[in-house]
Amino acid sequence: MKNQLSKAGLLNHIPLVLFALFFLVFALWAQQEQPPAPATAPTTVPPPASAPVPATAPEQAPTTAPAPVTTPTPEPAPATVPAPAPVPAPEAKPAHEEAAKGNPVKRTEESLAKGKKLYGFDCAMCHGDNGNGKGDMAAEMKNVTDFTNPDALKSRADGELYNTIRKGKGDMPAEGNRGKDEDIWNLVNYIRSLAKK
């Protein structure tokens, strides 16, 4: 008799045990599939207005508003965005003081030789080997300065040329912090020497 009662009691609990086991397996599976939630500040959800008591249940006590529920606000997952295309450097518009800045490097044979070497690395591809503005890359750009034309740089101060080289202008990329100040000034000296008399 005891055996029959224990079997009957056990049989009554099998669906409950199976349901609990299924729930546990599902919860573990769901945790593996979902990325971890980002840490966010919890937000407080205001309690709903007290619900009206139904007319058919007068024996129930009026309900009170439940306590506020705190739930984290999910943040959208960061989307993979392709890198933007390079944007041309803005027009170099140096401040008046920078444009008026004089070249601290004297135009010597040594300065011109250093400037010519740097020009060959950084400038000749667009401005041409002799500075005529007809380098290999010039066909794809407009308004490449012809340094051999004496009028091209006549109204531009050395400080303005320095800033244009350092910060870039239009399609011309900036030298930025790659070159030392003295190297840029040597380059300005060399560019000035290209003008035909």
Give the DSSP letter string of the chain. Answer: -HHHHHHHHHHHHHHHHHHHHHHHHHHHHHHHHSPPPPP--EEEEPPPPPPPPPTT-TTSPPP-PPPPEEEEPPPPPPPP-PPPPPPPBPP----HHHHHPPP-S---HHHHHHHHHHHHHHTHHHH-TTSSS--TTGGGSS----TTSTTTSTT--HHHHHHHHHH-BBTBPP-TTSS-HHHHHHHHHHHHHTS--
Query: Whole-model pTM?
Result: 0.51
**Predicted local confidence at residue 54, as pLDDT:** 54
Higher pLDDT, 106 or 46: 106
- List residues bridging with 43 in a β-sheet: 71
Could you read off the pLDDT of 55-113 as tens digits, one per residue? 554 555 555 666 666 666 666 655 565 655 555 555 544 445 556 678 899 999 999 99
For 50, the token pair is 């007290």
- Rg (Cα) of the chain, in Å, rounded? 39
For 65, the token pair is 């508003």
Rounded-to-integer distance, Cα 184 and Cα 5, Å: 98
Q: Are 147 and 133 in contact (CB under 8 A)?
A: yes
Tell me, what amino acid is at 44? T
The percentage of the chain sitting over the pLDDT mark of 90, rounded to a whole number, equals 15
Rounded-to-integer distance, Cα 167 and Cα 89, Å: 7
Q: Which domains are delineated in the chain?
A: 96-193 (1.10.760.10)
Tell me, what amino acid is at 65? A
Q: Are 149 and 194 in contact (CB under 8 A)?
A: no
Q: How many CB atoms lie within 10 A of CB 119?
A: 20
Q: At what angle do helices 158-167 and 181-193 cross, to 10 degrees?
A: 120
**Predicted local confidence at residue 20, as pLDDT:** 80
